[in-house]
């Protein structure tokens, strides 16, 4: 069978929101010296708990994905590592550490990647967080998000869900100093207490601004999140 050659070039202008997104990504990479830290998380117990909660409250409360648990772990970890919940003013050379956690949620839309903001994430329980995530995602995808819902985040969570791959190198949402990226959950054989067992494993691929965040502190921050996620009962202990 003969294969016909293809001809032609399609010119696609980068305009409007797509251009703004491109400029913001370029600004982030130009100004921020990124470094990425990847850690493996055993989410077997977390997934078991999530399944039980969804079964218990089916039809009565918002369905829980992994994101509410990750957000809760971030809120708790930020208490111990407040330098992650910050914005860096390049011109003044000042780091602004924030008390409230205004969580950016990187969301894919037809117009490109947008980051709606869940304000005061520290005040939300799992179900209110799940409801707000759904509302914000629908708002940005439907073009009804308000201006104040698209600005002012202090740290960002990004996830591609089932398409999350094994490892990623997320771009920091400038002028923030940290972003936590979530890769997909896969079943893998692991060694536990000398025996090979099947566990549900997930990587966190997170990037940090090396001007502000030391590598040791970045690793400790992710390890802190890991401790909460691998023992999910700790997520509910103040």
| Catalytic site positions | 210, 214
Q: Which two tokens stand for residue 234?
A: 């700790």
Q: What is the CA radius of gyration of the chain?
A: 19
Distance CA 13, CA 189 (A): 47
CB 35 within 8 A of CB 201: no
Max Cα-Cα span within the chain: 68
Q: In residues, how long is the chain?
A: 238
Residues 6+ apart with CB under 8 A from 91: none
110-115 LR contacts (CB < 8 Å, sep 24+): 110/141, 111/16, 111/17, 111/18, 112/17, 112/18, 112/21, 113/21, 114/21, 114/140, 114/145, 114/150, 115/150, 115/153, 115/156, 115/173
**Residue 206: strand pairing partners:** 37, 180
């Amino acid at each position: 069978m003969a294969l016909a050659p293809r001809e032609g070039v399609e010119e696609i202008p980068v305009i409007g929101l797509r251009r703004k997104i491109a400029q913001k990504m370029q600004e982030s990479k130009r100004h921020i010296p990124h470094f990425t830290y990847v850690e493996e998380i055993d989410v077997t117990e977390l997934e078991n708990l999530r399944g039980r909660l969804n079964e218990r409250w089916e039809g009565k409360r918002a369905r829980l994905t992994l994101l509410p648990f990750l957000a809760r772990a971030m809120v708790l970890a930020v208490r111990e590592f407040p330098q992650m919940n910050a914005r860096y003013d390049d011109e003044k050379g000042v780091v602004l550490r924030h008390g409230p956690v205004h969580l950016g949620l990187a969301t894919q839309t037809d117009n490109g990647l947008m980051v709606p903001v869940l304000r005061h994430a520290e005040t939300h329980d799992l179900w209110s967080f799940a409801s707000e995530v759904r509302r914000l995602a629908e708002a940005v995808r439907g073009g009804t998000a308000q201006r104040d819902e698209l600005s002012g985040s202090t740290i960002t969570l990004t996830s591609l869900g089932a398409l999350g791959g094994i490892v990623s190198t997320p771009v920091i949402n400038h002028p923030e100093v940290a972003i936590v990226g979530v890769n997909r959950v896969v079943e893998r054989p692991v060694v536990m207490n000398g025996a090979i067992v099947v566990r549900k494993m997930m990587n966190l691929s997170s990037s940090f601004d090396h001007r502000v965040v030391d590598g040791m502190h970045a690793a400790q921050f992710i390890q802190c999140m890991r401790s909460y996620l691998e023992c999910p009962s700790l997520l509910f202990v103040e």
